[in-house]
Structure 1
Amino acid sequence: MTVHATRATPPPPPPDILSPEFAADPYPAYRVLRAHYPLHYHEGTGSWLLSRYDDVERAFRDPVFTTDNYGWQLEPVHGGRTIAQMSGHEHAVRRALVAPAFRGRELRERFLPVIERNARELIDAFRGHERAELVDQFATRFPVNVIVDMLGLDRSDHDRFHAWYEAVVGFFANLTQDPAVAEAGLRAGAELRAYLLPLIAERRARPGDDLLSSLCTAEVDGTRMTDQDITSFVSLLLSAGGETTDKAIAGMFRNLLANPDQLAAVRADRTLVPAAFAESLRHSPPLQMIMRQPAEDVEVSGGTIPAGATVTCLIGAANRDETHFADPDAYDVFRTDLTTANAFSAAADHLAFALGRHFCVGALLAKAEVEVGANQLLDAFAEIDFAEGHAPPETGVFVRGPLTLPLHLTPAAPEPRS
């Protein structure tokens, strides 16, 4: 009798995160990376890819992973250093200068009415219509309009800010280094700074009850924000704050419409809106990857990252790690391994807002915007369906979400007059 040795099935080749196949659907590639290449050097981006939850979580929490790489990533378009690339006491002070406006009483009393008004105005524009394009008519404009109004800027400049926002976001998503896209982003950043500088001088002399005035007058430990601090922060707020909420609203409604039973549950019980948002951040994070740079050699799953290297933390892969989440590819607003109460804090189970000292300062603003927008849409329309009968695809590599979301709308019955 002859015994034949069985050969182990070789692993699939490492996926290319710049390939068309990855752009069409990154999640199969993420599974391959987690299973076989938890640490993988990617030639196209010149970076080490991390895909497992525990490794990405560590990269966000462990101080050995720095944001020094943001110097070449962020400074060109933001026009200087931002709080995202600072560390230690400098970061703590700058964060303390800007954070109060994005949480607690300041957010509820000063800016929630701004959020509610902007959502209502955009939704009113497509009331009475059977169809609406949620991305173009609502999701991309809502957070940008809110930021403009929070800053106390001219509301007639909403469209101008929307154009700057799209160009700056395009700059960061430009992994293939298209020179035209890079130039458009740099030009938008320069135009935004030129717009803001005379207004900063004005608000320093005559502060008002708006966010820009607060940034001009805030003081912590004897430190106040310079003009460059303010213009860089506003640029960061416009790009990061707008992009998260833009993609989150569209992605959440795409996920809910693709799961009609869960949409019905959220419509019936609006306390589930935060859970639906948190699950969308886990399942379909708007920001799919963030880069870090280790200050020294670091051991992770699969090997050693050399000091000074660029590390691409694949949030979209980590958030679907099967060792951390049950049935991770399923969208489930009722899942028990994602705690909604912590989902918008530095103790979150998902990684969409990063973690640790660089946890997204605008997470609660995004939560307020998504809750207000979702509730107003559900109140305005008794039924919301995919206009084409199916979910449109998501697009994007660095940031990801539906490019369009055409909806069929059935208006809610008017409330009876008393």
Structure 2
Amino acid sequence: MTARLEQLEPPDILSAEFARDPYAAYRLLRDEFPLVWHDAMQTYVISRYDDVQRAFKEPVFTSENYAWQLEPVHGRTILQMEGREHSMHRALVAPAFRGKALQEQFGPTIRRNSRELVDAFRADGQVDLVDAFATRFPINVIVDMLGLPRSDHARFHAWYTSIMGFLGNLAGDEAVAAEGLRTKDEFEQYMIPAIRERRANPGDDLLSTLCAAEIDGESMSDEEIKAFCSLLLTAGGETTDKAVTSLMANLVAHPAQLEAVRHDRSLIPAAFAETLRWSPPVHMIMRQPSEDVELSGGIVEAGRTVTCLMGAANRDDRRFDRPEVFDVLRADLDGSRAFSAAADHLAFCLGRHFCVGALLSLFEIEVGVNDLLDAMTDIRFADGAPPPEAGVFTRAPSSLHLQFTPAAEERP
């Protein structure tokens, strides 16, 4: 080891300094500490693109860590399943989230929710986009897709906030953990009767689709459907919530790219894909190898938890040209596969555990950003500068105060 490295310390991903600016820490980790043990979290931390890609794609890296990480608050979900069990459950839920079926069955629900939220502030000339739109849009959509009462939007938003607090509780705050477990009980008490009622009286909603799904005589139990709905609430809500916020903040911070997207809406998926690379909603996901594995920097022993820093890997200059630059026209990010298991970015994982709701998120982003750009012209930061990001496990601006000129309202 060189004298210079002997003087360096690996960044602590639980430190306040890291929370303020993880990107500087990511560079140091990638270059000098590609594999580091974090004692407080009892996990190895990896940060290079090739290593994180391997952790997502190679079968030796399992998701057994979710038994202690997710199961306490969600129940047992598809994320911690492997092999035939995982394939079967993915086949049961995936059809509802494919492009054509998604747009035809749930397109009107998604469009209605976006338009309602935008209409509430479009004449004001100013908005906190996080509070007024980003945190509410995906949760309202999920509630309506499930066919549950719209009067329960606020209740689901509170549950979503509590569960995300539990999942992001890397420091182990006991009050946050207890609140998450109370939410699990409340959610179960709400959902199990709703699932049983929908089995008896099916409709054309997502909950009915999940209840009726069957392959080779296998279907999901009430508990499994409840767990999937809990997972959908957070995984589907958090990614879209933070993606909308970050995408709009990124575009407003780059006016030429904002205007390019405004005038060519077919660029919205590219802007979304670049946002997923440059400022992903989820910055870290864990895996657990079933046998010893050699990665950059050393060996990870079987059964040890590995924290994969997607936020670092997505800015690895070993993989991307000018990785610190936000560019919706980036040549090394293939838009044709950006929302598939073969994506270049790592924000939705890769391989067998690629996010089943990626196309739902894309559709929501396309609808939402189109509506926002239709409603607002001359968009600028109210404080004159981009807001800081917040969060460690998931990350985006906690508020996004924008000023704008209301656009003339056009109804089809």
Distance 1:85 1:36 in 2: 32
**Counterpart in the other structure of 2:70:** 74
TM-fit CA distance, 1:190: 1.2
TM-fit CA distance, 1:383: 2.1
**Counterpart in the other structure of 1:37:** 33
Query: Does residue 372 of structure 2 align to residue 389 of structure 1?
Result: no
Corresponding residue SS for 1:391: coil
Distance 1:13 1:238 in 2: 38
Query: Does residue 227 of structure 2 align to residue 232 of structure 1?
Result: yes
Q: Which residue among 346, 351, 357 is the counterpart of 1:351?
A: 346
Corresponding residue SS for 1:40: strand
**Counterpart in the other structure of 1:27:** 23
TM value normalised by structure 2 = 0.98
8 Å CA contact 1:289–1:314 kept in 2: the answer is yes
TM-fit CA distance, 1:405: 0.2
TM-fit CA distance, 1:7: 7.0
CA-to-aligned-CA distance 1:224-248 (integer Å, 9 cap, x gap): 1101100000000001100000000
TM value normalised by structure 1 = 0.96
Aligned residue type for 1:351: L
8 Å CA contact 1:93–1:221 kept in 2: the answer is no
Distance 2:202 2:405 in 1: 45
Distance 1:12 1:164 in 2: 42
**Counterpart in the other structure of 1:3:** none
**Counterpart in the other structure of 1:334:** 329
TM-fit CA distance, 1:269: 0.6
**Counterpart in the other structure of 1:182:** 177
TM-fit CA distance, 1:11: 5.8
CA-to-aligned-CA distance 1:195-241 (integer Å, 9 cap, x gap): 01111111111100000001111101211110110000000000110
Aligned residue type for 1:35: D
Distance 1:186 1:285 in 2: 27
Query: Does residue 115 of structure 2 align to residue 90 of structure 1?
Result: no
Distance 2:164 2:411 in 1: 44
Residues 41/383 of structure 1: CA separation in 2 closer, same or farther (3 Å cut): same
The percent identity for this pair of structures is 63
**Counterpart in the other structure of 1:268:** 263
**Counterpart in the other structure of 1:253:** 248
Greater radius of gyration (CA)? 1
CA-to-aligned-CA distance 1:112-170 (integer Å, 9 cap, x gap): 11110000000011121021110011000000000000000000000000000000011
8 Å CA contact 2:333–2:345 kept in 1: the answer is yes
Summarize the alignment of residues 4-403 of structure 1 with structure 2, pairs less than 5 Å apart.
12-78=8-74, 80-403=75-398
Aligned residue pair count? 411
TM-fit CA distance, 1:340: 1.1
Aligned residue type for 2:301: P
TM-fit CA distance, 1:31: 0.6
CA-to-aligned-CA distance 1:278-327 (integer Å, 9 cap, x gap): 00000001100000000000011110000000000000000000110111
Distance 1:332 1:113 in 2: 31
8 Å CA contact 2:375–2:409 kept in 1: the answer is no
TM-fit CA distance, 1:416: 10
Aligned residue type for 1:74: L
Distance 2:42 2:345 in 1: 26
TM-fit CA distance, 1:184: 1.1
Distance 1:72 1:415 in 2: 50
Residues 416/142 of structure 1: CA separation in 2 closer, same or farther (3 Å cut): closer
